Structure 1
Amino acid sequence: MTQRLDQATAARFAGLTLGHLTREWPYKLDQVLDGPGDLALPKTLHPVFHGSFDWHSCVHGWWQVMRLARLYPDMAEAAAVEALADRMLVPALIAGEVAYLDRPGTGGFERPYGWGWLLALHDELARRPDRPWAAAVEPLARAFAARFAAYLPKLIYPVRSGKHDCTAFALVHALRWARTHDASLAALIEARARDWYGDDHDCRPFEPSGEDFLSATLCETVLMKDVLGAEFAPWLAAFLPDPFGPATACLRSPAIVSERTDGRLAHLDGVNLSRAWCWRTIADALPDPAAARAIADVHLAEALPHLADDYMGEHWLATFALLALEAE
């Protein structure tokens, strides 16, 4: 049976994520040190996004809880989410996040995964124009949009990876933000996506790698669906000419997770959730939409029981579960 988001599930996800958005330890920094003066506590370096084990997980954790609070304003957790936003998503603290980007050696900071998620967060906040959060975060969003605009023309080849450097995954979020907030960036993303992926055909994936949390193949299809619109179905037919045949069998079998206390091996729970998101998103353009949704359901069933098995998954998996459960 196809699983969908409901208020009880939303409350569970929000409760999990509220438990770590401001949890300071353990924390993994993404930092280049130019000297001893650069050493500082995560909370000093990142006044807002110093929880959830690392910067990008904290950012998309915020995206998740803000989205859930908007979709389910009557759940008990919504009030706690909004109170925390009133305390944390404020100009003075966001200014500290912007200031971090002005440090030497930060050009590659969170590129492109964290960039895309920050734009997704701002896009979600902008859906609540009655509250001050989007205006507070906008300077940081504009800073990352400028980084995308400078970086994408230099990127000769897309990064076809199942990890944080995956070009297609980041651009899904960046394009959805840009179409509302930055038309020139949207045009650039669309043009680069066509350059990189437009002629792809007869894909023969070999996935997953041992520490992936994304499917590079399927993330590409989600991006191209957004880019191509009515042109997507023929592109997909060329890219995956036999989506339910032996050449793509590896995309249909859930990944096996051997150890959930190992943060990198636990990534494979994310493969299952992100594949579910992708299969649901592209289902209607495939020869058998019901089969695609059934594949998504199998992947969801494999991952959903394990969202909170260990902090190595708990600090991020609920976001990907939300992506999958909302996908159409």
Structure 2
Amino acid sequence: MVYRKTLVGLVIATLAGCSAAEEDKTSSPEDRGVFERRNTAPDPADNALKPRRAEQAYARIALNCINKQYPSKISHVLNSAADVAEPAKLTPLFYGCFDWHSAVHGHWLLIRLWGQDLVPDMDDEIAAALAANYTAAKVAGELAYFQGADRTAFERPYGIAWFLQLTAELRDIAKGEGSKAEQAKLWLDRLQPLEALIVDNIKNWLPKLAYPVRLGTHNQSAFAFGLFLDWAARSGDREMTALVREKALDFHRQDRDCPMAYEPSGEDFLSSCLMVADLMRRLMNQREYAEWLSGFLPALPTDGRGDWLEMGVVKDPTDGKLVHLDGLNLSRAWALEGMASALPDDDPRRAALLASARLHGNSGEQAVRTPHYSGSHWLASFATYWRTRRGIDKNSSNPAS
């Protein structure tokens, strides 16, 4: 597997977004777990103000917030007064990092870096934090929440797609040997009841979805479909593969002239056009995809320049919606690389796709330095997904190949 080796000088400002100062003053230490109490404090390694490898900084960001309960934004259906509770009581496993889906991909980030041996000096700390969260009791609490009335659409499709990415990551690690493989098997077994319920909900939903959701935010269908397919390939779930494949081809096989000039919208973190292109390369062989892409994005340059696609600009990084555009740059980077990976080596469009991916990815990684929790609680996961080439690594599977 190929990893980007560039070093990013992320210093103490990177982690300020998860500082103890932002912790809710009314929450007593007894109400928080040991890892929340420990990781809301500044990291001692930051005191020296020495640059650290990007992976180390990203892992620290996730450790600092996966059990940080406040501030919090919940999407919560109340069926009675009994449903009024703190986030950690409602969803006792995934309640940190501001919202449920960010808590999920914060956990995924840690599993990814731990499983790929990218932060060996932090392995013990990461394993201890995850073990404290992946208990039978906490998983049972998550399951009970999902089983509540009127919650079948909870975090659909974005959050549950990231959850399947998390369990797919554990499956990859579990296929190996040694103590990490054994630990991954244990955690995967613990999460299996929640995974089974989420998968059933997706399978019940897909046949009812009449149209694609082409937004640039959480409800977008193309991004989620891509992660669903990646999970299905790793889990061997042929039914899921068939359902997503049929729906994606029905929605997008005839798509033409996607209007890139209309992007981005002011609060996008996913490209409506590029995520469709990144999805479709999972469903077509090389020849089919090259031909389809010519109709879908006919104006892709062939001169190798990277500035053909203007990057998203954030004018206020403290605004939780405007900062989405930093994530757009990162998700565009991985989509552009995914598109290039599916084209023949001599396709003249590849150079421009890869050049633009580098510009977008580097810009997005600079934004992970933000001291503002509005961005820091989630951007590190996007940077890790791009940086480690998760969507196009050696374990990815194309059912059309």
Q: TM-score, normalised by structure 2?
A: 0.77
SS at 2:65 equivalent = coil
Report the Cα distance in structure 2 between the residues aligned to 1:73 and 1:84, rounded to whole angstroms.
Answer: 17
Which runs of no fewer than 5 residues in structure 1 stay unpaired?
A: none
Q: 1:317 to 1:152 in 2, by over 3 A?
A: same
8 Å Cα contact 1:3-1:297 kept in structure 2? no
- In the alignment, what sits opposite 2:134? 89
- In the alignment, what sits opposite 1:55? 100
1:213-232 mapped onto 2 (5 Å cutoff): 213-230=269-286, 231-232=288-289
- 1:114 correspondence with 2:171: no
Report the Cα distance in structure 2 between the residues aligned to 1:73 and 1:298, rounded to whole angstroms.
Answer: 24
Report the Cα distance in structure 1 between the residues aligned to 2:258 and 2:147, rounded to whole angstroms.
Answer: 41
8 Å Cα contact 1:11-1:75 kept in structure 2? no
Report the Cα distance in structure 1 between the residues aligned to 2:103 and 2:130, rounded to whole angstroms.
Answer: 13
Report the Cα distance in structure 2 between the residues aligned to 1:107 and 1:208, rounded to whole angstroms.
Answer: 30
Structure 1 position 160, deviation (Å): 0.4
Select 2:194's aligned residue among 132, 137, 140. 140
1:197-236 mapped onto 2 (5 Å cutoff): 197-205=252-260, 206-230=262-286, 231-236=288-293
- 1:301 correspondence with 2:362: yes
- Aligned AA (2:70): W
- In the alignment, what sits opposite 2:247? 192
- Aligned AA (1:243): L
- Aligned AA (2:277): T
- In the alignment, what sits opposite 1:168? 222
Q: 1:251 to 1:162 in 2, by over 3 A?
A: farther
8 Å Cα contact 1:208-1:250 kept in structure 2? no
SS at 1:128 equivalent = helix
Structure 1 position 233, deviation (Å): 1.7
Per-residue deviation, residues 209-237 of structure 1 (Å, max 9, x unmatched): 11111101101111111122332221112
Q: 1:157 to 1:65 in 2, by over 3 A?
A: same
Q: 1:264 to 1:251 in 2, by over 3 A?
A: farther
- In the alignment, what sits opposite 2:330? 273
8 Å Cα contact 1:210-1:268 kept in structure 2? yes
Structure 1 position 127, deviation (Å): 2.3
Report the Cα distance in structure 1 between the residues aligned to 2:276 and 2:227, rounded to whole angstroms.
Answer: 12
- Aligned AA (1:276): A
The runs of at least 4 consecutive aligned structure 1 residues that moved more than 3 Å come to none
Q: What RMSD, in angstroms, separates the aligned Cα atoms of the two structures?
A: 2.0
8 Å Cα contact 2:172-2:234 kept in structure 1? no
Structure 1 position 73, deviation (Å): 5.7
- In the alignment, what sits opposite 2:351? 290
8 Å Cα contact 2:113-2:119 kept in structure 1? no
- 1:19 correspondence with 2:84: no
8 Å Cα contact 2:301-2:308 kept in structure 1? no
- 1:316 correspondence with 2:375: no
SS at 1:227 equivalent = coil
Report the Cα distance in structure 2 between the residues aligned to 1:244 and 1:200, rounded to whole angstroms.
Answer: 19
8 Å Cα contact 2:158-2:218 kept in structure 1? yes
Q: TM-score, normalised by structure 1?
A: 0.94
Report the Cα distance in structure 2 between the residues aligned to 1:75 and 1:5, rounded to whole angstroms.
Answer: 16
- 1:253 correspondence with 2:315: no
Which runs of no fewer than 5 residues in structure 2 stay unpaired?
A: 8-52, 175-181, 393-401
Report the Cα distance in structure 1 between the residues aligned to 2:139 and 2:369, rounded to whole angstroms.
Answer: 29
Structure 1 position 125, deviation (Å): 1.2
- How many residue pairs get aligned? The number is 324
- In the alignment, what sits opposite 2:39? none
- Aligned AA (1:210): G
SS at 2:54 equivalent = helix
Report the Cα distance in structure 1 between the residues aligned to 2:103 and 2:198, rounded to whole angstroms.
Answer: 16
Deviates more, 1:200-209 or 1:227-236: 227-236
- In the alignment, what sits opposite 1:151? 205
Report the Cα distance in structure 1 between the residues aligned to 2:167 and 2:382, rounded to whole angstroms.
Answer: 18
